[in-house]
Structure 1
């Protein structure tokens, strides 16, 4: 089958350059209105779709991003692999502003967001021990290094609700006792929903600051964050440009099983399933329903 990459751009990334045949178009979803229209085209012969997570002009706060509609819209377009590009704070001295961290684990501290496509009427439980796709993550790391970025492969992302930044006590807790490496507000429930939709998911966390634990950086300076975001956005675009050569246009089945996550997940007996919910699942769970 064809490889079709979906890029979800976070703070500071509201478009992708260089797409052949690029056009913005609306995708309707039964889960609500996505954050924005989706930019589609080809890059190096590869199908690519780009969705600005916060919308162009940054209109959606982290808690209000329509995560289910976004993932569903990308699934409806035929996206096979999603790369999340997002800003983050760092809990590690060596993960400095301007560096990229290829996330491989999450701690989910969000509480005000719908986190699943499934529920009463069609119950499902997907495996999530390894929440990102190693194959896709490795490609992102290689592409970022080739673009001249300092890359850290592996890291735990603490997803907080926001929109406020951490207190000093929280920052110390997450860093010293919980072992988190970076902190952000948007990768959850996005990663969980991608797994439910059987889409491979990689998270590229772009460091903008040291949160507030660092004695020389005792609070997050928004002006400094914005300045770093601009540079990170340029690096992210160079990283994306290198992906077609690394991944190729033809896609094999995921060796880690991301694209088969629903094989044993659905618990509700067929005769007990809610037709209204099944209709909403016609994209994300089409393969098994």
Structure 2
């Protein structure tokens, strides 16, 4: 640790440099200094990064490093680092490696004994969490959801009983389908916060239950545009709660059997009272 305000960029070092997620004013002075001093910038999209560098008058050479070539290019970058070069790693926006390329390079650098220096800076999940109003003492980042409905519902089923705040990334063209799948598994009362276009002109942070959020989004197509972070409240455990697995079993079994029979089977499987499951089925199915 140092309290110096000047930045000295060391040889044979990989710097992890976060870049703004929207507002260019969010880049740090240290990030600008590193980007200007390194020998090379490994960028997810050199054209996108080029615009950022041009805005700040930085002329450092860029090198394309993305999901499709990272494993093949990592070793050559490590060789350059071992020969004394200074390299910065950036993604299109936010902190590299967070649902962005960079893991393979950093993993191999550390295995090869190459020094890796992380810079603090913008990150959409932390920005969204800090303003969401949901519990922030424990949370999980789940990245992007599966593209197909079954995969999404399976993921939500796995996470249904998780007490932590859950954070997802989702694209505008899939957000409504994702919320419909979430509603099918988690129910209408689960609280969700949609953080859209963070740090940009049309930033929106809107929280509601799933039963309220879905119709609110349908009211205006502009509400489902832009970069999105989806934050979901964790499961609240109460004494009267039935196991999520048991209610899920009732739901599946009742598709083929009378509710009373489905409740009896699920009660036997999960050691709960069949009357409680039957009552749950009457209220929810």
TM more than 0.5: no
Higher gyration radius (CA): 2
Highest relative contact order (Cα 8 Å, sep 6+), 1 or 2? 1
Indicate the structure with greater helix content.
2
Q: In proportion to residue count, which structure has more strand?
A: 1
Q: What TM-score, normalized to structure 1?
A: 0.30
Q: TM-score, normalised by structure 2?
A: 0.30
